Amino acid sequence: MSSSDVPATGALLSVRKLTKLFGSFAACNGIDLEIRPGEIHALLGENGAGKSTLVKMLFGVLEPTEGEIAWQGQPVSIGSPSDARKLGIGMVFQHFSLFEALTVAENIALSLDDSIPIGKIAEEAASLSRAYGLPLDPYAHVADLSVGERQRIEIVRALLQNPKLIILDEPTSVLTPQEADRMFETLFQLRDEGRSVLYISHRLEEVQRICSRATVLRHGRVTGACDPRQETTGSLARMMVGSDVASVKHEGLGKPGDIQLEIAGLSVPARTPFAMSLKDVSLRVRAGEILAIAGVAGNGQGELFDVVSGEHTVASDDLILVRGKAVGTKGINARRLLGAGFVPEERHGHAAVTSLKLSDNLVLARSQSDHKAFLGGGFLNVIKYGAVKQAAKRISEAMDVRKSGDDPAAGSLSGGNLQKFIVGRELDRQPAVLVVNQPTWGVDAGAASRIRQALVDLASNGSAVLVISQDLDEIFEVATDIAVISEGRLSPSFPASELTREKIGLLMGGLHESKTHSEPAHAH
């Protein structure tokens, strides 16, 4: 059954004037939405547009302040995720909720009726996974599975409850291109069975490919609805942000200069049972270059960032060189003093303390490397808050950080705006070396464009930039050169112009070239 065969009055789910207030702030403001049986319906919008708040109300995580939710034409109150599941609504969140020490079947059992024997759950999960092309071993431990396999657990867990509507939040952000294609086939199968999918994604090409209708949110309101197949990625982005989204321009990138960051034959054992060991990793990044490291999450990206940044030191100084200086046993501040900057993956709690003001976060990140700018002389080294606030204002203006006041708490900003501030905090120093892990994770098109352009501009001014990213669109947009990390091994690097998405996908799966792994990535 196609969505065009379903009359508007036959909606599976409809919401009218749905509103959610947090104090005086309206995260969702009078939203109308209708999802028909047998359709894949996209929910689009910038960070902070209200998408997460809306789906949390649909799944019973949040209670609406005003408005009505109707299920198959009847008004309903969804007070909990259990209520949502009983109606026939399933949800797969962007961040998985799995216990790595448990098996697949044991993780699935946690969301089901306690009376069902684990053997029956394993049997049904295996059968369902085969039927939908989502192969899983129900007795495998989650810790041993790839990120793509972990996502299959979440989808199978939702499908075991026989939902009529499945909500998927950024489902392909952790998948290789080949895994994403396989998942789309599953979604088409669900659609053809008459089930509905509410699909949240920043990847507009995917939305055009698989969705027959889209609802667009901006600032908590519905600003448009369309058939995404009749739109361009540019027109969809314009609906989301209210203006054209600038494409990244590479003017100014010239011939690479001297090596600014070098890793030579680095092997690091896994620090925990669930971490990834690094195996003979080598790379070089020169002034004026952007080396992007692609890979599916969980293949050693976090571990690589930790040792490059100095958050975790290594056994020998000469394994890591920053601007020709051996720093393997040195910490973050020593590397910052050599002109390096770092942006970790996790915004909340790692890159920023959410309860502190933006100015305080700036002091925490730069008091050592910028002590002359931010600290007064004398015995007490008093913080010069005038200079700090001026720097915070300069960063906010340069990166278009939208905030509720002059110096609000970091946690009050949307994810995209906090990420722009964190990246801007490092760029403001004009570092000679910048290492960024997932620079635009979960960030809307407008903010992503600004961050990516800033990285290219930094390289154009002679800095060496190392970008670790799971987003292939991002990698092709910014990189001069690309390497792929798989199971803790780094492939040789290739000029970005020589690689395709398919080739990167194969490398992500571990199909490295016949070159030895000890050869440096990007050895000219």
Angle, CA 177 vertex, CA 172 and CA 180 arms, to 5°:
40
Q: Would you state the pLDDT for residue 84?
A: 96
Q: Which of 361, 383, 412 is the last residue of a domain?
A: 412
CA dist 254 and 263 (Å) reads 23
- List the beta strands (DSSP E) in 157-241: 165-169, 196-200, 213-218, 221-226
> Of 241, 258, 280, which residue constitutes the final position of a domain?
241
**Residue 200: inside a domain:** yes
The predicted pLDDT at position 53 comes to 92
How large a percentage of the chain has pLDDT more than 70?
Answer: 92
Q: Which two tokens stand for residue 358?
A: 């933006």
Apex 77 CA angle, 73 and 78, nearest 5: 110
Based on the fold, state whether residues 314 and 407 are members of the same structural domain: no
Predicted local distance difference test score (pLDDT) of residue 442: 67
**Residues whose CB is less than 8 angstroms from the CB of residue 292 and which lie 6 or more positions away in sequence, other chains included:** 467, 468, 469, 474, 475, 478, 479, 481, 482, 483, 496
Q: What is the rounded distance in angstroms from the CA atom of residue 105 to the CA atom of residue 157?
A: 9
CA 357 – CA 383 distance, rounded (Å): 15
What DSSP letter does each residue of 293-324 carry, written as one string? EE--TTSSHHHHHHHHHTSS--S-GGGEEETT
Question: pLDDT digits over 143-199, tens only?
Answer: 888 777 888 899 999 999 899 999 998 888 777 788 888 899 999 999 999 999 999
Q: What Å distances lie between residue 471 and 224, 248, 293, 319, CA to CA?
A: 27, 15, 10, 28
In the chain, the amino acid numbered 76 is V
User: Domain for residue 95, yes or no?
Assistant: yes
Is position 420 within any domain?
no
Say if 418 falls within a structural domain. no
Residue with tokens 């209200």, as numbered in its chain? 50
Considering the entire predicted model, what is its pTM?
0.73
Six-digit token pair at 293? Answer: 């490291």
Q: Can you give the pLDDT at residue 521?
A: 60
Least confident residue range of 4-18, 398-412, 443-457: 4-18
Reported confidence tier of residue 5, pLDDT bands at 50, 70, 90: very low
Number of domains in the chain: 3
Say if residue 234 is in the same domain as residue 282.
no
Distance separating alpha carbons of residues 70 and 53, to the nearest angstrom: 17
406 and 386 in a common domain:
yes
Checking if the pLDDT of 300 tops 70, the result is yes
pLDDT, residue 515, reads 42
Q: Do both 486 and 408 map to the same domain?
A: no
pLDDT digits (tens, 9 = 90+) for 253-287: 778 999 999 999 999 999 887 788 999 999 999 99
Q: Which helix (H) or strand (E) holds 70?
A: strand 66-71
Residues in contact with 68: Cβ distance below 8 Å, sequence separation at least 6, in sequence order:
15, 16, 17, 18, 75
Question: Is residue 334 domain-shared with residue 392, that is, in the same domain?
Answer: no
In terms of domains, do 442 and 461 share one?
yes
Inter-residue contact 147 to 298 (CB < 8 Å): yes
Q: How far is CA 138 from CA 126, 129, 132, in A?
A: 6, 10, 15
334 is a domain residue: yes
Residue that terminates a domain, selected from 241, 273, 300: 241
pLDDT of residue 367: 58
Residue 514: what pLDDT? Answer: 38
Give the range of the structural domain holding residue 154, as residue numbers without chain letter. Answer: 3-241
Does 65 map to a domain?
A: yes
pLDDT band at 524 (very low <50, low <70, confident <90, very high): very low
- State residue 350's pLDDT score: 87
- For residue 4, the model assigns a pLDDT of 38
Token pair recorded at residue 159: 């499908």
Band (135; pLDDT cuts 50, 70, 90) = confident
Handedness of CA 292, 296, 298, 300 (dihedral sign): negative
Residues 507, 367 within the same domain: no
325 contacts: CB under 8 Å, gap ≥ 6: 338
Does residue 234 lie in a domain region? Answer: yes
* pLDDT value of residue 3: 38
> Do 173 and 133 reside in the same domain of the chain?
yes
CATH number at residue 227: 3.40.50.300
257 and 226 part of one domain: no
Q: Exposed (0-12), middle (13-18) or buried (19+): which is 258, by Cβ within 10 Å?
A: exposed
Write down the mean pLDDT value for the chain: 88
CA–CA separation, 350 and 332 (whole Å): 13
198 within a domain of the structure (yes/no): yes
Instruction: Please indicate, yes or no, whether residues 315 and 400 belong to a single structural domain of this protein.
Output: no
Q: Is residue 513 very low, low, confident or very high in pLDDT (cuts 50, 70, 90)?
A: very low
Q: Is 420 helix (H, G, I), strand (E, B) or coil?
A: helix
Q: What pLDDT score was predicted for residue 124?
A: 93
Based on the domain organization, do 262 and 406 belong to the same domain? Answer: no
Q: Are residues 396 and 483 in the same domain?
A: no
